[in-house]
Amino acid sequence: MHSDPTWAAAAQHFQHTLGEQWTKAMQAFGSFQPPTAAGPAALPQIQFSPDKLAALQQAYLQEAAELWNKGLAGAAASDKRFASEAWGGNPVAAFTAAVYLLNGRTLMGLVDATETDAKTKARLRFAVEQWMAATAPSNFMALNAEAQKKAIETRGESIAKGLQNLLHDMQQGHVSMTDESQFEVGRNVATTEGAVVYENELFQLVEYKPTTAKVYERPYLVVPPCINKFYILDLQPENSLVKHLVDQGHRTFVVSWRNPDESMQQLTWDDYVADGPIEAVRVVQEIGGSKQINALGFCVGGTLLGTALAVLAARGEKPVHSATFLTTLLDFTTTGVLDVFIDEAFVKFREMQLASGGMLKGQELASTFSFLRPNDLVWNYVVGNYLKGETPPAFDLLYWNSDSTNLPGPMYAWYLRNTYLENNLVKPGKLVVCDEKIDFRKVDLPVYIYGSREDHIVPIDAAYASVKHLPGKKRFVMGASGHIAGVINPPAKKKRSYWTNDKLPATHEEWLAGATEHPGSWWTDWTAWLKPHGGKQVAAPKRYGKGTQYKAIEPAPGRYVKVKS
């Protein structure tokens, strides 16, 4: 079947429209602006496969005819946004939803039919996904049968409550994902007992109270990401990675990053490495009285820790006995969905804005990450909060997700160019950080590398790529689920599974082919791996810190983590 001229025209219109929609989608995210002052970069030239276009046309006409022949009855879609009885019982609403989904599939089919480079296709797909998520009939009161039914049943009370929710969220500056009034840092999240024993401009060091009579002689330092609050690792006692470490007999310390304000707008990546993990390692060594410690880096915290270890190795120092990297990028060859935003024009624009000073606001980062999953993390709450007048349920993880942090502009701009754009960290000698050339080949220590199978921020093959850059004895483990849920998976829950393979072939695909699946949490495997690296056991300390130099400043979790953006 040959492509109809109407479809050819539609394809041309689609190409033109996507350029506009891409710009709108980028501008919708606070942190993503047009890459030049003069306007967005031109969309690369794209063509359509005639065969795919013809097949798509035929499929569309066939599905549209079937939909029309059914009339308005029984056309409700299986999509969860339209799965309620209100949609199924309203023929007009059900038909509208079915047409919307048909059009969405067709638009995605047009993306798949494009003949262009992989990055451009990924950008087209992302723009269409954002467009379709925003234009779903469920997002509008005039089309949402469920919201209309609730308004009738409550005699308009749901509409009034929805307006109250809207005004509240406008005042707080973000869409409520949970009932934030139900949580308080230090009261019912981040409650593991401890004290702040050191602080500088950049972080507070929290030491946790031992729960065992003896502890391993090598203390344990945790470096969380600086783009989030550290208590993702200490949400509740039953899912706290921090408490798990303490209960296993490790004398545990955690870096609590300061939420930067305008006084910190000149800080660089070098500042974060030198005054962050390098300084934390030194302090933990002194407090623990140990020549070496063990350390963990999570997400960007792992990138900072890895850089710090490379700096220390270049100086001939080896204060860390073993390192654990959780969902960490050292090699930025594959960066998942975030790659759609990164190119030379975008990075130059951000450098023009922030490289000489300034602040990337936490809400911009939070909005960006939310729009990576727009239906689940944006429009779901728009519909529930504003159209249905619902109060979202109390959920500690989503409370943490809304507790955003700022980043100093120079640090952020350096990070964008040297990691996501140019992947310089893994090029031996290419970068100089803290006056030392970065070369991961010198970071020779045992490492445990964890990646999550469905991680959209640190793709599993990107997590695995660290294996080829670190020369020490390595263990790689893959867990089920995503960037956060895969990591925060305590053994007691008996949820999900993980995969192991003692061999480390060139690619993750080869590794997975020979991997063994185990039910439950990867924490058990990690605990077993970590045990011999702890050294001998000694009597647990009776007080926090050490001597007069490192005394308890304030109870955990400290004041830095409580500062809002």
Q: Which residues contact 368 (CB under 8 A, 6 or more apart)?
A: 29, 30, 31, 32
Return the closest-CA partner of residue 485 out of 326, 314, 292: 326
Return the closest-CA partner of residue 299 out of 228, 201, 399: 228
Q: Which two tokens stand for residue 369?
A: 């990450």
Distance CA 250, CA 532 (A): 12
* Cis previous bond, 210, omega within 30: no
The answer to whether 201 touches 264, Cβ cutoff 8 Å, is: yes
Q: How far is CA 288 from CA 86, 191, 284, 294, 547, in A?
A: 62, 23, 6, 11, 11
Q: What single letter denotes the amino acid at residue 200? A: N
Length of the chain: 565
Angle, vertex CA 485, rays to CA 383 and CA 32, nearest 5: 55
Q: Which residues contact 104 (CB under 8 A, 6 or more apart)?
A: 132
Q: How far apart are the first and last CA of the chain?
A: 58
Distance CA 449, CA 221 (A): 16
Q: Which two tokens stand for residue 400?
A: 């943490």
Q: Is 252 exposed, middle or buried (0-12, 13-18, 19+ CB in 10 A)?
A: buried
Distance CA 221, CA 195 (A): 14
User: Can you spell out the DSSP letters for 279-318?
Assistant: HHHHHHHHHHT-S-EEEEEETHHHHHHHHHHHHHHHTT--
Quick one: residue 261, left, alpha or beta (phi over 0 = left, psi -120 to 50 = alpha)?
beta
Q: Which residues contact 462 (CB under 8 A, 6 or more apart)?
A: 329, 331, 332, 333, 334, 335, 336, 451
Catalytic residue positions, numbered:
299
- Pairing type for strands 214-216 and 537-539 reads antiparallel
DSSP 550: B
The answer to whether 476 touches 464, Cβ cutoff 8 Å, is: yes
The answer to whether 214 touches 539, Cβ cutoff 8 Å, is: yes
Residues linked to residue 518 through DSSP beta bridges, in sequence order:
498
Which stretches of 391-536 are assigned E, i.e. beta strand? Answer: 407-408, 432-433, 436-437, 447-452, 474-479, 497-500, 516-519
Return the closest-CA partner of residue 362 out of 177, 226, 178: 226
Q: Give the CB-side neighbour count of residue 139, counting CA atoms within 13 A.
A: 14
The answer to whether 407 touches 360, Cβ cutoff 8 Å, is: yes
The answer to whether 362 touches 565, Cβ cutoff 8 Å, is: yes
